Amino acid sequence: MGIRHMGNNVAATVKSSRLPGFYKQSLAERVAVVAEWAGLNEDERAALAGPGGLQPAQADLMIENVVGTYALPLGVAANFLINGHDYLIPMAVEEPSVLAAISNAARQIRAGGGFQAESSEPVMIGQIQVLDMPDLDAACRAVLGARAELMALADQYGESVIRYGGGARDVEARPFPDTPVGPMLVVHLLYDTRDAMGANTINTTLEAIAPRVAELTGGRVVLRILSNLADRRTATARCTIPQDALAVPDIPGRDVARLVMEANAFAVVDPYRAATHNKGIMNGIDAVCIATGNDWRAIEAGAHSYAARTGRYTALTDWHVDENGDLFGSITLPMAVGTVGGATKVHPTARAAMKLLAVESAGELARVLACVGLAQNLAAIKALATHGIQKGHMRLHARQVALAAGASEADVQAIADRLVAEGNVRVERARELIAN
């Protein structure tokens, strides 16, 4: 629990993200609870609930060739306690069971004191590719010798970032003597983007300093672009779950802890399993990125490339049983997110979601996302390692099947319940039930 600061308004009361029975409430009741939590005004409440979200005229100004808008279900994950503060997590996702699973995992993690999370400085990497140099080694020395000059030149751009304490932090030279197009030098500009994701600022800066890099190296500059492997800008989350909080019917908590550790080991050693393991992590992280208007594709690219940074694709998480028999988990991954700029400030629903989340910096958002990924992973591998993932998933998926079969809103739950009871969650069977 903790006092939350919400944008420009300070919450004077201590609030808990524990919302027992939240899923049993009506849609209108849930909206009211969330609106009160976040102090949403009527416009923000409408944006979060749907009617006041992105309008076609606004969409037409955001991208090209607009013909309309596309909606996703927007839900709220409860029970998150991170570094002593409570959060409600907005998530935009179409897949059933994600919200229920992550809220349940966060409740179990809460039993051990919640999450502990940290994030590094928001340093991104910009890359300049140089070819056709007369001497690769001499080009490296020239770039490194002009490090201060290049950083000073870079800091002439990105005025808003510089104003808030960001800017160039270092210059690196990476030689590749043997490539399909001959010797190549890749110059890295390490750039602190503060609360912005920073892609546009970095790309503009790279284009501005590229001519000087060409002069220094005597080569030809080709690409000037940021890297989505933001391994200097990471977030880490950790938790310890008491074994008793892990118990499921017929399986004691100490055995569940061991099963989770064994399931994680599968993903550590086998890239085929690791791909699905890490996809589950991104189920949660992507959904929050979409809800808040962040670039989920950049986060995906960074996470999966980071998982392969040793030359072998592996799990992003570590789960093991500690000396007390409790379950310890951790995750570290690149987290290039922003709280300013882009769709985060343009999309009405993203603005309302950010107010609900109530983070005060990109670093805080990164820490929240790491915790979301860890919780989602726990939910998935615990289910897999115990009674299987399909039982709970299919129970929630049955409503989508009933809808796809043509059930009315009034009949969806009854049809879904019948499908689950029969163990036959198929569109064809749903149609038969509707017809009868």
Catalytic residues: 95, 279, 295, 393
Other residues' Cβ atoms within 10 Å of the Cβ of residue 413:
13
Query: What token pair was written down for 169?
Result: 């932090």
Residue 358's nearest CA partner among 18, 37, 23 is 37
Q: 3-state DSSP: the chain helix, strand, coil percent, rounded to 5? A: 50, 20, 30
The count of C-alpha atoms lying within 13 angstroms of the C-alpha of 149, restricted to the half-sphere facing its C-beta, is 11
Alpha carbons 436 and 431: distance in angstroms, whole number: 9
The count of C-alpha atoms lying within 13 angstroms of the C-alpha of 360, restricted to the half-sphere facing its C-beta, is 8
Alpha carbons 371 and 102: distance in angstroms, whole number: 10
Are the C-beta atoms of residues 293 and 339 closer than 8 Å to each other? no
Give the pairing type, strands 234-241 and 327-334.
antiparallel
Which residue is listed with tokens 């988990």?
A: 329
Write the CA distances from 139 to 135, 212, 217, 303, 356, integer angstroms.
Answer: 6, 12, 4, 32, 50
Are the C-beta atoms of residues 419 and 433 closer than 8 Å to each other? yes
Residues pairing with 127 in the sheet? 188, 225
Residues pairing with 327 in the sheet? 241, 321
Residue 335's nearest CA partner among 315, 375, 365, 291 is 365
Alpha carbons 122 and 192: distance in angstroms, whole number: 5
Which residue is listed with tokens 């992507």?
A: 286
Query: What token pair was written down for 284?
Result: 């949660």
Alpha carbons 316 and 377: distance in angstroms, whole number: 10
Which residue is listed with tokens 């991208």?
A: 63
